[in-house]
């Protein structure tokens, strides 16, 4: 593990953890999901996206919304539109309105 990083326990237990490590040579922070000693998934976040993530998490900690200007301004016509979906059922019986940004559709690779 790189010299700068941390380990977080999942609320579900079962030896699930998330490791966060900083890789300055790649200008990325890696978030990896572990089950015991097996890495199940990883995500490389560019360091340029960290202020947006920190603003979101800061808003969660503060119990409110992040400071103005730290998240995309949805009133600005230059901001990409947000696709709103109907009420969806989530895990453990929680329901609510889902929002997600419009993502590009990448063609699936074909295997012969």
pTM, whole model, 2 decimals? 0.55
Q: Which stretches of the chain are DSSP H helices?
A: 50-62
Residue position matching structure tokens 């089950």: 35
Give the per-residue pLDDT at 99: 46
What is the tens place of the pLDDT at every residue in 21-32? 999 999 999 999
What is the tens place of the pLDDT at every residue in 7-17? 999 999 889 99
* Cα angle value 61/19/42 (rounded, 5°): 105
**3-state DSSP of 33-53:** EEECCEEEEEEEEEHHHHHHH
**Is the pLDDT confidence value at 91 over 70?**
no
**What is the strand order of the sheet 38-46 is part of?**
5-9, 16-23, 28-35, 38-46
């Amino acid at each position: 593990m790189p010299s700068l990083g941390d380990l977080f326990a999942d609320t579900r237990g079962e030896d699930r953890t998330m490791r966060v490590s900083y890789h300055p040579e790649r200008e990325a922070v890696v978030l990896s999901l572990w089950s015991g000693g097996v890495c199940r998934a990883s995500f490389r976040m560019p360091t340029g996206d960290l202020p947006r993530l920190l603003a979101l998490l800061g808003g969660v900690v503060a119990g409110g919304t992040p400071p103005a200007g730290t998240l995309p301004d949805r009133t600005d016509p230059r901001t990409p539109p947000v696709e709103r979906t109907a009420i969806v059922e989530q895990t453990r019986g929680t329901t609510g309105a889902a929002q997600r940004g419009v993502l590009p559709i990448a063609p699936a690779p074909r295997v012969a």
